[in-house]
Structure 1
């Protein structure tokens, strides 16, 4: 039997007790993981990016210098307010309250970042988010996923299980696969109209 997604009340309670309930801005674990995520991006810069589940905007602050436009979103109003405050001096960043997959922004992106998000969703919602991500990505666009890889009562999945799901995702090619005991970080590229994977960073600069 499929478990329902983590209820909205869980997130409301977490943010009611603290501005940064997961201590994303404090822990070395988080800082290192964000640095690895940014380093894994195959392009130096992106035209238009989408980061659903942005929480308090810690990764948003790292993505912003790499993006001409960045839409960060979260389902929790308190998280949206915090991210807006923290990015107020970054004109390329907009922050909206959205609940994916039911609310998905219009237009296309060349970067979508799903960080610590999918394990809160049930199987159907995960499938919809992944389909919407691929459909919203430009050819050769980048899809980044990074997820905690330990069992947690509020999580419906793990990083390894999400990676297994992504391996069956049509229209993408795996570009990077970084796995540690604690988390799984993957980068997929939207294939071209001819079904070819995006060029590697070395190929993009004519090194191979």
Structure 2
């Protein structure tokens, strides 16, 4: 079973920032690394499912012409929307993944601390949605906590192993630490230097 929605509702009922994203250096650094690892300077259309309070969203917004960020919890959606209210190219709305996955396509999809909450069936659907929504030449960025958590259906390492098995995607970058794994997958096997004609 995927992590029940009630777990997240309870977290946000007791705190506006239940994971302390606004105050922890660990998360500020990880969000900065996630934005900095993006292979392109600019993206036409980005999608961030599970945006929480929008701390990463605000960094991604600076790199996207259009960005959709969603979360299943209304309190998180309100917090994220307030954070990016001065950026009209960002849309924040409520949606439960994977069932409410949008029909649009994207040249950037960011899975940040999300996929380990899903059971086998929901994760398989999520990965199918990613594969169907990522445009040719688009980039998939994934970052996940590596330690075991009772509410997680699997570890971050297991999530990334399944992402690596997606047909048609190549791993462009991998940043591994004791606490988290950050990877970039793309359908364009060329390096950044090759893309810019340096090699």
Distance 2:121 2:174 in 1: 24
- TM-score normalized by structure 2? 0.98
1:28 aligns with 2:25: yes
- Structure 2 match to 1:169: 166
- Structure 2 match to 1:47: 44
Secondary structure of the corresponding residue to residue 57 of structure 2: helix
Structure 2: 5+ residue stretches without partners: none
Equivalences for residues 70-89 of structure 1 within 5 A:
70-89=67-86
- TM-score normalized by structure 1? 0.93
Distance 1:105 1:180 in 2: 32
1:205 aligns with 2:196: yes
Measured after TM superposition, the shift of residue 119 of structure 1 is 0.8
Measured after TM superposition, the shift of residue 138 of structure 1 is 0.8
Secondary structure of the corresponding residue to residue 62 of structure 2: helix
- Structure 1 match to 2:125: 128
Return structure 1 stretches of 4+ with deviation > 4 angstroms.
none
Question: How many residue pairs get matched?
Answer: 199
Equivalences for residues 118-197 of structure 1 within 5 A:
118-189=115-186, 191=187, 197=188
Secondary structure of the corresponding residue to residue 104 of structure 1: coil
1:103 aligns with 2:100: yes
Distance 1:40 1:158 in 2: 22
Distance 2:16 2:29 in 1: 21
- Structure 1 match to 2:16: 19
Q: Deviations over 1:18-77 (max 9, x none)?
A: 100000111010011111111111000100000000000000000001000000000001
Secondary structure of the corresponding residue to residue 13 of structure 1: helix
**Alignment partner for residue 5 of structure 2, among 5, 8, 20?**
8
Q: Deviations over 1:164-208 (max 9, x none)?
A: 11121112111111111000111100x2xxxxx342211111111
Q: Deviations over 1:67-101 (max 9, x none)?
A: 00000000001100111111110011000100011
**What is the RMSD of the two structures over their aligned residues, measured on CA atoms?**
0.9
